[in-house]
Amino acid sequence: MKERHRLAVPRASARVSSARASPIVRASLAILVSAASCARGAPSTPEPLPMPVESPLKARARGLVAMMSDEELVGQVMMIDAEGSASLSEASRAVLETVRPGAVLLFGYNVAAGPASTASLTKSIRSAAGSGGLPPFIAIDHEGGSVYRFKGGLTRLPSAKALGLAGPRAARAAGRAAGSELRALGIAMNLAPVVEALSDDNASFLADRAWSEDPSVSGRLAAGFIEACQDGGTAAVAKHFPGNAATDPHLGLPVIRASLEAVEASLLPPFRIAARAGVSAIMLSHAVVVALDPDLPASLSPRVVSALKDGLGFDGIVMTDDLSMRALSAYGGLGAVGPAALAAGADLVMVSGGRDALAIREALLEALGHGALSRERLRDAASRVVEQKLRFGLDSETDDERAARFDALAGTVAAGTAALKEARESARESARGGPRDRLDP
């Protein structure tokens, strides 16, 4: 039997160890010390730092969240699945009406019947799960290549590896097709792209899902996909922060033993680029990254989440991968890892299975009741989810607008397919000596 690790509510550290601080942190400390030394000769009253101005979108999200009950707050920070194709199963409808989740994840069997059935299903989900005029994000893994859920009716996306070889124009064409076509089906969140660079450590797990072996190239190609996908109306999710190893997290616990310097040089840059590109959400991996936290997987680690939110300045949704994966089996059941992930700083926890969804909901409410999960943390998480819903217009989209998008789907797919084909042909021409469309490291 695997040893179970005790999970505790994280406490903020009051010190930064200079031995473990990153070069960025060490440089900042050196500048502060130098500035303080220079100032001793001529004391002066320091200018007060300006208060950060909260964006109207963020302020509105916080206002909506402030009016939510505990049950509504807990719902907003959950992503669960749904049973059905053209319509919901009665059991799934009951779960959605109870949980009122912030997001609903679709799988291949949900969309196998084609675009019309998928649009009908997403309408049923919005009806069952909508809360206070805020429909859930409906999400799907739409990376391309080996991770492609649809049987037909949409632009067939190549793998990230193939797009990476074709160059940035192809990456953007694929992102635009993905974003506009998914939104026409009522799907407003794409759990893509993978932004991790391919390495010897993760190649057996990621394979064709990675863009490049170079972290900078991988980040820039992924950023092009992200921007175009979001321009098409669908929130993108960069994954899996800060990285993965050879072990498939569905089957076991990945461990990354790279040094802190290697983590900063190879793992973090693609996510920094994605964050600067305005990606809506970043998904945490279930890997233990020894240099950042030797004790906990990323999805349960306050240190790793802090590296993302504070270190990279990411202000969108930080979400987990599926908490039902075996990678977390040594850290307790869903009733333990759900509250622990939120307490560590995640904003949206993913769980598949109706019973599991209800179990996590009860665990979160219980953790809130006895203080293991603070209401302030829960409200902050819910605010991040709601802010992104407002950003992508989920609160204001009308039935007529949805119908118009779906009616235009055939033309949207034709345009997306043509643009992607042209971009890939252009890349082949450049490989034969024509105009170049490649990113250099």
The residues that are catalytic are 250, 321
Q: What is the DSSP string of 267-295?
A: IHHHHHHHHHTT-SEEEEPS-EETTT-SS
Helix and strand numbers (H, E) in the chain are 18, 12
Q: Let me know: does 146 contact 393? Beta carbons within 8 Å.
A: no
| Integer Cα distance of 152 and 114 in angstroms | 7
Distance CA 167, CA 148 (A): 20
Q: For residue 343, what are its two tokens? A: 């307490």
- Rounded Cα distance between 162 and 167, Å, is 9
Contacts of 167 (CB under 8 A, 6+ apart): 221, 423, 427, 430, 437, 438, 439
For 305: left if phi > 0, alpha if psi spans -120 to 50, otherwise beta; the answer is: alpha
What burial class does residue 341 get, using C-beta atoms within 10 Å of its C-beta: 0-12 exposed, 13-18 middle, 19+ buried?
buried
Residue with tokens 């899996």: 240
Is the Cβ–Cβ distance between 232 and 309 less than 8 Å? no
Phi, psi torsion values for 104, nearest 5 degrees: -130, 130
User: Closest by alpha carbon to 264, among 21, 15, 14?
Assistant: 21
What helix, strand, coil percent values describe the chain, rounded to 5?
50, 10, 40
In whole angstroms, give the CA distance from residue 243 to residue 25. 21
CA distance 380 to 99: 19
Q: At CA 432, angle to CA 430 and CA 437, rounded to 5?
A: 10
Burial 407-431 (b: 16+ CB within 10 A, else e): eebeebbebbbebbeebbebbeebe
In this structure, what DSSP letter does residue 102 have? S
